[in-house]
Amino acid sequence: MFRTRVTEKLGIEYPIVVGTMMHISDPVFVAAASEAGCLGVLASAMYKSEEDLKNAVQQVRSLTSKPFAVNLNLFPARVPVDNAAYVEMLIDAGVRIIETSGHGIPEQLVPVLTRPDVTWIHKCVGLRYARKAESLGADMVTVVGYENGGATGILDIGTFVLIPTVARSLHVPVIGGGGVTNGQGLVAALALGAEAVIMGTAFLVAEECPIHINLKKALLEATETDTTLILRSVGNTHRVWKNKKAKEIMQLESDQASGDTVISAASGDNNLLMYQSGDIAKGTISCGQGIGMVNEIKPIKSIVGDIISEAESVIKGL
């Protein structure tokens, strides 16, 4: 029922990509996603050396024999990594599904990403970026609408408009996301022309998600109105859970604080501290508007099973 060009190309059971999330998409989380029949995506930005990333790839392989991808983060970073060196290492390590996401695609990466034995997925937030990726040789393109958790770009286009706009304009398969958290959303995205969905928020309270139980419980209480946009003033708009730290950053931006001040307040170190300590005011966490439909802590496999079961019921009922 759910076989598409994406599932065939990637060798996955279900048309679901579990989106990469900083400090969350570690080997255990990624392997659990792949074992559940989805595509897990390892966050390379979590690793500050090629050796650390290589070890993480090996750990994923020790936990699953199923396909997984590695994300290369092309967004500006306080401590940049050498993505050209990373991608070469990944190829040497046998990784054959690579996702890129960010403001642009460095020309030096294209020859490696377009090798015949590599599947290249580029993630973006608008039609012109999707067309550019296709023209450079991307095998499939991921687009995420304004409801999305994490980077939202500057176009502010909702998922119900973005997916069909891109899908009808490209020849390569489209993976769509932004507000997709359950089986209803999966069916809707497929109806709009996507051949798979990308989901992150739905898995924030998974048992395998490496964030503190205090944070998971707080997210279970959140509704569709409990997210906000930050970092627009520094050209890196992100949708996050609206907690004390997010409001602090919003106030800094409203007061026209310097870019360095805003970026410092939103540092990944603060976020990691929150994830590990359970102090839910210490940092921010990327979170989509669909958080209000996330209501139970359970294993990733169970979450995926519920999504597919609901999707099948929705299709039968149409």
Answer for the pair 141, 174: CB distance below 8 angstroms, yes or no: yes
DSSP 286: B
d(CA 11, CA 94): 16
Average pLDDT over the chain reads: 95
Per CATH, which fold does 5-209+294-317 belong to?
Answer: TIM Barrel (3.20.20)
| Domains in the chain: boundaries | 5-209+294-317, 213-289
Whats the size of the chain, residue-wise? 318
76 pLDDT above the threshold of 70:
no
- What digits encode the pLDDT tens for the residues 162-219? 999 999 999 999 999 999 999 999 999 999 999 999 999 999 999 999 999 999 999 9
> Taking CA 255 as the corner, what is the angle to CA 254 and CA 257, rounded to the nearest 5 degrees?
110
Taking each helix axis as running N to C, give the angle between helix 159-167 and helix 127-136, from 0 to 180 degrees, rounded to the nearest 10: 30
In a 10 Å sphere around its CB, with 0-12 CB exposed, 13-18 middle and 19+ buried, how is residue 258 labelled?
Answer: exposed
pTM, rounded to two decimals: 0.95
Predicted confidence (pLDDT) per residue in 2-59, tens digit: 999 999 999 999 999 999 999 999 999 999 999 999 999 999 999 999 999 999 999 9
CB count within 10 Å of CB 174 equals: 27
In whole angstroms, give the CA distance from residue 245 to residue 87.
34
